[in-house]
Structure 1
Amino acid sequence: MATWEYATIPLIIHSTKAILDQWGADGWELVQVVPGPDGQGLVAYLKREKA
């Protein structure tokens, strides 16, 4: 059975694609994007399988 590790990262609106591309290159899969605390910006939840 697979085990997973998770990360939560803030997304900066003007460089969202670059941020997600970098994390994706490191093996992370985007699970969800939600509004940040107090409605400020966005927060991405990512996962990847543990080696």
Structure 2
Amino acid sequence: MATKWEYATVPLIIHMTKAILDQWGSDGWELVQVVPGPGDGLVAYLKRPLEA
């Protein structure tokens, strides 16, 4: 059976990037990609398996 995923997009504040990603990671989220966001910002795309 294929894994089902849930996704999140998270704005990253440049001087707090590690803290933000560490918090999401501790909640079970896996970083998929970081892309440029509005202005000088970044946006992180994350995923984690749905609970069965």
TM-score bracket, shorter-length normalisation: over 0.9
Q: Distance in 1 between matches of 2:33 and 2:10?
A: 11
Q: Structure 2: state its 5+ residue gaps.
A: none
Question: Deviating runs (4+, > 6 A) in structure 1?
Answer: none
Deviation at 1:40, TM superposition (A): 2.7
Superposed CA RMSD = 0.8
TM-score normalised over the length of structure 2: 0.91
Query: How do residues 1-51 of structure 1 correspond to structure 2 at under 5 angstroms?
Result: 1-37=2-38, 39-51=39-51
Q: Which structure shows the higher helix fraction?
A: 1
Identity, % of aligned positions: 80
**How many residues in Structure 1 have an aligned counterpart in Structure 2?**
50
TM-score normalised over the length of structure 1: 0.93
